[in-house]
Amino acid sequence: MTVADLDACLALWRRCEGLVLREACDQPPALAAFLERNPGFSWVAETERAQVIAAVLCGHDGRRAYLYHLAVDPSWRRLGCGRALLTAVRQPLKAAGISRCHAFVRTDNASALRYWERLQAERRTDIQLFTVRFADEV
């Protein structure tokens, strides 16, 4: 994923159910800053005509990686696009020495919960997520 893909990614994310887009961080400038900070970790899948049909944001903090906004266009699902994006993410993380990756899933996103379970990702029941807000961001 490059900055040139961001408008198409935002359009994709807006047409995918289950994702939560934030006012402040899901704008091209903030997303471009994320890509600049985490070069080579975020990916898109395109058709032969260069239409973006799947995307994932990924970054790490030197200890753990985080996945955001994994999404596949509804008409391209169950064809392995999601799996291909996760495979693409894996290599740069490995090169960076990062072996674990967290994905945040809303508890009401039953489909995504089933998806991660299908992929045998570890569902954490020992952790609750707390968010401390330092600004007025929603």
Ligand X SMILES: CC(C)(COP(=O)(O)OP(=O)(O)OC[C@H]1O[C@@H](n2cnc3c(N)ncnc32)[C@H](O)[C@@H]1OP(=O)(O)O)[C@@H](O)C(=O)NCCC(=O)NCCS
Interface residues with ligand X (CB under 6 A) are 16-19, 70-72, 77-83, 103, 105, 109, 111-112, 114-115, 118-119
Q: Which is nearer to ligand X, 39 or 80 (by Cβ)?
A: 80
Q: Which is nearer to ligand X, 19 or 96 (by Cβ)?
A: 19
Minimum distance of ligand X from residue 79's CB (angstroms): 5
Minimum distance of ligand X from residue 11's CB (angstroms): 14
Q: Which is nearer to ligand X, 15 or 94 (by Cβ)?
A: 15
- Contact status, residue 99 vs residue 62, Cβ threshold 8 Å: no
Minimum distance of ligand X from residue 81's CB (angstroms): 4
Minimum distance of ligand X from residue 136's CB (angstroms): 26
3-state secondary structure the chain: CCHHHHHHHHHHHHHCCCCCCCCCCCCHHHHHHHHHHCCCCCEEEECCCCCEEEEEEEEECCCCEEEEEEEECHHHCCCCHHHHHHHHHHHHHHHCCCCCEEECCCCCCHHHHHHHHHCCCCCCCCCCCCCCCCCCCC
Q: Which is nearer to ligand X, 32 or 119 (by Cβ)?
A: 119
